[in-house]
Structure 1
Amino acid sequence: MTTAAPGNTGDARTDELRARTAAAFGSLRSDLERLVRIPSVSNSEFDQAHVAASAEAVADLLRGAGMDDVRVTSVGAGRPAVIARRPGPPGAPTVLLYAHHDVQPPGDEEHWHSAPFEPTERDGRLYGRGAADDKAGVIAHVGALRVLADDLPVGVTVFVEGEEEIGSPTFVEFLHAHRDELAADVIVVADSTNWAVGTPALTTSLRGLVDCEVEVAVLDHAVHSGMFGGAVLDAPTLLSRLIATLHDEAGDVAVVGLVRAPDPSVDYDEAAFRADAGVLEGVRLAGTGPLTARLWTRPAISVIGFDAPRVATASNTLTPRATAKLSVRLAPGQDPAAAMDAVREHLLAHAPLGAQVTVRDGEAGKAFQAPLDSAAMQAARWAFGQSWGTEPVDIGVGGSIPFIADLLEVYPSASILVTGVEDPDSRAHGADESVHLGELEKVVLAEALLLERLAARG
């Protein structure tokens, strides 16, 4: 089978690769099912032998996809990652394909309709922990390599991480240890989402992140609520009042110093959003302006943890201290350090009734904004449009992928493309996580087309 000449990749070649993808997809689905059956939870509370087994399984898939140099490796106490390399023709660009093989814990298995680590198909979707995030991303890379086979027109390096779900703690160290091996002209990160089933997307922005713990203290010890209640408010009440200052009456963030980026050009249908998010009937949505702006280009503050006495073990006393963990999502263009300063200053300035407020800084991650007109982005738009038969939508993502900023720091001249294997109903990290099998097949074809297009554009 011959490859179309550079610059002449067209509908006939697309049809040829589409047929190859369809022929290969049955085995790719079986490979995904085998990966899902490995409970590769990177959280240290779980058996890390499964993470090692998952890395070896990914390495075997890449060897079978024609990669020449495949090995499982790690740095320090990091989880095992897989690096695979295959050189391209002289003068061809090198493309780094990224995914991760570790997964989130399954959570309460009673909330799943099928066992989380037993892949199950229902209505064209494959359910299981990691079926979407991000073992489908691994299969997208493996599939594109199989589809192109001996026609691979670019140099390819595959990097499949094993600790993304615990914050990639050794990512920067790993990049520096393997700087030359992982160097590339274009980096494809297959760990995002599409706009909808039937409509592809390219993720052009990601919010940044800071988090912190805020503690409110009012007493040096617990006291009887009947004897002292009324003159002293307990710490959970005052912490709740402090948290309430973070938003205005409409639900917009009220912290001075947190910036907004321009509104996106597309918007989310409110009914579809409510269904996708599982918003209960009667609950009003927070904030003002376009939904996509609230989700992608404006800050958001959430309480993701709260330490106070449990109801089941509570005594009839005034609680002296209470702590909340805040997750703050940052608009593209916001400096994380400046954002943390703004949040800290707000919390300290709004201490209720003179309560002692302590803020402890946590994780920080930079936002990402991709150039919209780079040669790599143009190639991706073409490839995804060919695969789906409809133009991709430029989207932002409200979540953060902090390691993208690390990639740009180590490889500042590389073009980064963030592509999707998920859709709004994938429920990544939650119960009944799934991938739409028809969409995954389109992702495989799109990536094969992208690799050819990148070769054609040099």
Structure 2
Amino acid sequence: MTSSASPAPAEHESALAEAVALGMPAALSDLGGLVRIPGIAWPAFDQTALERSADAVAELARDTGVFDEVRVLRAHIDDTDELGQPAVLATRAARNGRPTILLYAHHDVQPPGDDALWDTPPFEPTVRGGRLYGRGAADDKAGIMAHIAALRAVSSVLGDDLDLGVAMFIEGEEEYGSRSFARFLRDNADALRADAIVVADSGNLDARTPGLTVSLRGNARFTLRIRTLDHASHSGMFGGAVPDAMMAAVRLLATLWDADGAVAVDGMTARDADTPPYDEETLRDEAGLLPGTTPIGRDSILSRIWHKPSITVTGIDATSVAAASNTLLPEVSVVISARVAPGQNAEDAYRAIEAHLRANAPFGAELTFSDIDLGDGFLVDTSGWAVEMTREAMADGYGVAPVDLGVGGSIPFIADLVREFPEAQILVTGVEDPHARAHSPNESLHLETFRNAVRTEALLLTRMNARGSAS
């Protein structure tokens, strides 16, 4: 597709800034309403909350007056008869040869964890210190409201001159692995097809500096069971001669890292790319590193987070401290979560880790691998017109030049978008800053960052609306 562009009229952009400002109280109020709905996709939680959440998002989409059709849909999970969680699909056909943009976010959230660790109730939105606190306030209900607020502002300014095609896909199970995502794309390919896709589920360099995410690490997550005995035995009677599963687990897991804490698995690769300045003091502030604890890894800090692999033990099944007895444990299970450098296939990385663990199993311990979940990383082609238009909108929306970011986290479904829509330019943006604490207690949204994100997206939509396209 070839395209020609003309700048959006200056009077439109001046009116747009005013419309965004006037719409901010309603946007924050609506965001608070979404935060109050505890929509969690894990089966252990009330699934009717996800239905209420999807319905609330659908109503917000209808109320913009932008879309021709708004539906709440589910897709089957591949190779099963099970339906995924409810998603919202809103569509508006392009007019007069204009391009189409697809806006993505998700309405499900992480479980809150221990309520005692929250300063205020996790599903009661609370504003203090220029931030809105609550589960999902940043990840990713703010992404939803950035789309809605930007569309409201653009529609109010452009009116009948809005010719841009718009599709909005608000997923309901991103935090639970996007299990029906690929099928949803195939089932609704015609409605979702677009020239550019905005994935509003990432973050920025800091609260003032916008970022366009150009690389994401992949992920390889699995459960490892380690067995050394066919039954528990007395630690006094046999300790010193019989290796228990915990001993084997500790010895085995320690081989995954070298003395600096860097990944020590042959076959896991790193990406060679520059990173912006970022010092240890900033890392300590943003991550909450204790004064006596040192960072791990080598080379620049951001290269360790963005461009190199990491391995974390995120869960363990063993006897609890409260239930401890003088017993040799027959088996221990752990969840291992690896982040894979951009550019490496997640399957290859997983196979390297599996081979490493099997080769290093101490005392002949028996290893079993299960619940394997893989997702490839992502590298953006930054040569497209939509990428440059997004950078310009960020510079004007935030008043600060954007930076290209790598992100240590993973958004595996982007590989599905690339596969289904290979011609689309994918723009990974977001409203989070390093203090958002997504997935953690006291998750929050920096309100000024949110305002700037809405301004940015409104400018992007308006400028895309002024862009002609021809096949």
Same fold by TM-score, threshold 0.5 exceeded? yes
Contact 1:193 1:420 in 2 (8 A): yes
What is the alpha-carbon distance in structure 2 between the residues aligned to residue 142 and residue 264 of structure 1? 35
What is the alpha-carbon distance in structure 2 between the residues aligned to residue 237 and residue 338 of structure 1? 29
Contact 2:275 2:303 in 1 (8 A): no
In the TM superposition, residue 441 of structure 1 has moved relative to its aligned partner by 1.0
What is the alpha-carbon distance in structure 2 between the residues aligned to residue 211 and residue 394 of structure 1? 27
- What is the identity, as a one-letter code, of the residue corresponding to 2:364? G
Q: Which moved more, 1:159-168 or 1:215-224?
A: 215-224
Residue correspondences, number? 454
Aligned counterpart, 2:113: 107
Aligned counterpart, 1:275: 285
What is the alpha-carbon distance in structure 1 between the residues aligned to residue 5 and residue 244 of structure 2? 71
Aligned counterpart, 1:23: 22
Aligned counterpart, 1:182: 192
Aligned counterpart, 1:328: 338
Contact 1:202 1:417 in 2 (8 A): yes
What is the alpha-carbon distance in structure 1 between the residues aligned to residue 223 and residue 56 of structure 2? 39
Matches within 5 A, 1:274-313: 274-313=284-323
Aligned counterpart, 1:62: 61
What is the alpha-carbon distance in structure 1 between the residues aligned to residue 162 and residue 102 of structure 2? 14
Aligned counterpart, 2:79: none
In the TM superposition, residue 211 of structure 1 has moved relative to its aligned partner by 1.4
What is the alpha-carbon distance in structure 1 between the residues aligned to residue 346 and residue 273 of structure 2? 20
Query: Over aligned residues, Cα RMSD in angstroms?
Result: 1.5
Contact 1:153 1:451 in 2 (8 A): no
Matches within 5 A, 1:110-121: 110-121=116-127
Alignment deviations for residues 410-457 of structure 1 (CA, whole Å, 9 cap, x no partner) = 111111000011111111111111111111111111011112233444
| 2:132 maps to 1:126 | yes
Q: Which of 391, 396, 399 is the matching residue for 1:381?
A: 391
Secondary structure class of the residue paired with 2:226: strand
Q: Which of 244, 259, 263 is the matching residue for 2:269?
A: 259
- What is the identity, as a one-letter code, of the residue corresponding to 2:146? A
Matches within 5 A, 1:417-436: 417-436=427-446
Cα 1:361–1:116 shift into 2, 3 Å: closer
What is the alpha-carbon distance in structure 1 between the residues aligned to residue 42 and residue 324 of structure 2? 30
Contact 1:264 1:297 in 2 (8 A): no
Contact 1:41 1:105 in 2 (8 A): yes
Contact 1:340 1:361 in 2 (8 A): no
TM-score, with structure 2 as normaliser: 0.94
Aligned counterpart, 1:446: 456
Secondary structure class of the residue paired with 1:312: coil
- What is the identity, as a one-letter code, of the residue corresponding to 1:437? L
Aligned counterpart, 1:360: 370
Secondary structure class of the residue paired with 1:118: coil
Contact 1:145 1:152 in 2 (8 A): no
Aligned counterpart, 1:52: 51
In the TM superposition, residue 10 of structure 1 has moved relative to its aligned partner by 6.8
- What is the identity, as a one-letter code, of the residue corresponding to 2:71? R
Secondary structure class of the residue paired with 1:55: helix
What is the alpha-carbon distance in structure 2 between the residues aligned to residue 11 and residue 339 of structure 1? 50
Alignment deviations for residues 47-102 of structure 1 (CA, whole Å, 9 cap, x no partner) = 11111111111111111111221111112321111111112222111100001111
Aligned counterpart, 2:71: 71
Aligned counterpart, 2:96: 90
Contact 2:7 2:463 in 1 (8 A): no
Contact 2:162 2:465 in 1 (8 A): no
- What is the identity, as a one-letter code, of the residue corresponding to 1:356? E
In the TM superposition, residue 11 of structure 1 has moved relative to its aligned partner by 5.9
Cα 1:10–1:266 shift into 2, 3 Å: farther
In the TM superposition, residue 12 of structure 1 has moved relative to its aligned partner by 5.3
Q: Which moved more, 1:252-261 or 1:107-116?
A: 107-116
In the TM superposition, residue 123 of structure 1 has moved relative to its aligned partner by 1.1
Secondary structure class of the residue paired with 1:79: coil
Aligned counterpart, 1:155: 165
What is the alpha-carbon distance in structure 2 between the residues aligned to residue 12 and residue 62 of structure 1? 26
Aligned counterpart, 2:80: none
| 2:397 maps to 1:398 | no
What is the alpha-carbon distance in structure 2 between the residues aligned to residue 158 and residue 296 of structure 1? 29
Percent identical residues: 49
Secondary structure class of the residue paired with 2:322: helix
Aligned counterpart, 2:426: 416
TM-score, with structure 1 as normaliser: 0.96
Secondary structure class of the residue paired with 2:416: helix
Aligned counterpart, 1:241: 251
Contact 1:6 1:455 in 2 (8 A): no
Alignment deviations for residues 310-352 of structure 1 (CA, whole Å, 9 cap, x no partner) = 1211221111211211111000110111111111110011111
- What is the identity, as a one-letter code, of the residue corresponding to 1:70? V
| 2:357 maps to 1:347 | yes
Which segments of 5 or more consecutive residues in structure 2 lack a partner in the other structure?
A: 77-82
What is the alpha-carbon distance in structure 2 between the residues aligned to residue 14 and residue 297 of structure 1? 37
Secondary structure class of the residue paired with 2:148: helix
In the TM superposition, residue 357 of structure 1 has moved relative to its aligned partner by 2.5
Matches within 5 A, 1:168-179: 168-179=178-189
What is the alpha-carbon distance in structure 2 between the residues aligned to residue 426 and residue 393 of structure 1? 19
In the TM superposition, residue 6 of structure 1 has moved relative to its aligned partner by 5.0
What is the alpha-carbon distance in structure 2 between the residues aligned to residue 372 and residue 96 of structure 1? 18
Contact 1:14 1:386 in 2 (8 A): no
What is the alpha-carbon distance in structure 2 between the residues aligned to residue 33 and residue 342 of structure 1? 44
